[in-house]
Amino acid sequence: MAERFKTPLLAVLAVLVLNQFLGLSQVLDHGYWNSWYDLRSRPAARDFAVVTLDDGIISHSTSTGRQAELVDALAAAGASKVLIDFPIEAGTDLAGDAALRASLIRAGDRAVLVNRAQIDALKGVGELRKHRFVAPEGTPVAFSNWTVDFAGYFEQTRSTALHGGQRLPAAAMIASGVRLADDTKIVPTFGTDPQSVPSIAVPDALDPKSVSTFQNRVVFVTRTSFEQGRGIGYFGHRRQAQAYADIAAVEAHRDLRPAAACQQVINDEGVVFPRDVLGAA
């Protein structure tokens, strides 16, 4: 009798050991959710556009002078918000740096500088950097910093973060127009199809024919190549630039409507969080 159960018992024990040391349950779990979200994916609302500063190629970059032209062009095109990453090119063209600061001042609070974290997939967290470029006085500054799981898939962010002695709002919160209590967890909807968001190269974005593409949209001006921890996993889809995580977070909270402060809201991932509406506090 003992011999009859010996082999199955060893097999069960082997599976348990492999599960413990290789994380097979996590792999299976990810496989399931990848398929689930892929089948359930839907287009993002026509409220967003991405201008890629490097066209997805690591070696490409856009000078700060060119970025200044972008800010002016997007503001003139009627973009509701322009969320532009802190320029990593700052310091190489002082005249361009000055032009970018001037364009940000002209745009007023329509333009927002975004400090994007460098994601450490092994630690599962990112780190906000100190940039050479100094934000003009009065220009809003936001952050984007997503935690990731063992496979590098993004999970959540917070509504605010302390950096350099300053409390910054999340880029997703700025893009949504919804104000959350400090340090509130923000969970995206992975059902949003990132390929449905227009991704436009700099020359095309500066083409006058593109004006209608940006009118009344929130435009993320960002690098879309995946060097230095810029790309993160996206359930049901390939690796993506972090701006798409910000957009997915806005999509998760799209059904919010003005209501009493700190009303409880359940997003479509089943996460309950308190929030207060912009202007309600």
3-state secondary structure of 222: strand
Cα 154-156-157 angle, rounded to 5 deg: 115
Q: In DSSP terms, which residues pair with 185 in a beta bridge?
A: 158
In percent, the amount of the chain with pLDDT more than 70 equals: 77
Q: What is the pLDDT of residue 175?
A: 92
Q: Where does residue 273 rank: exposed (0-12), middle (13-18), buried (19+ CB within 10 A)?
A: middle
How is residue 107 annotated by DSSP? H
For residues 252-267, give the mean pLDDT.
Answer: 43
Is it the case that residue 144 has pLDDT exceeding 90? yes
More confident residue, 183 or 124: 183
Query: Minimal CA–CA distance to 135: which of 69, 182, 90?
Result: 90
What's the angle, vertex CA 235, arms to CA 234 and CA 237, rounded to 5? 70
Return phi, psi of residue 197, to 5°. Answer: -90, 125
Averaged pLDDT for residues 24-32: 68
- Rounded CA separation 128/46 (Å): 29
Let me know: does 18 contact 28? Beta carbons within 8 Å.
no
The answer to whether 31 and 179 have CB atoms below 8 angstroms apart is no
Q: Are 104 and 241 in contact (CB under 8 A)?
A: no
Please tell me which residue, 228 or 111, carries the higher pLDDT value.
111
Mean pLDDT on 60-79:
94
Q: Which of 33-42, 134-143, 213-222, 238-247 has the lowest mean pLDDT?
A: 33-42
Residue with the larger pLDDT of the pair 264 and 278? 264
Task: Check residues 263 and 37 and name the one with the higher pLDDT.
Answer: 37
Instruction: Write down the residue that tokens 């929030």 correspond to.
Output: 275
- The reported pLDDT for the residue numbered 111 is 97
What pLDDT is stored for residue 26 in this prediction? 65
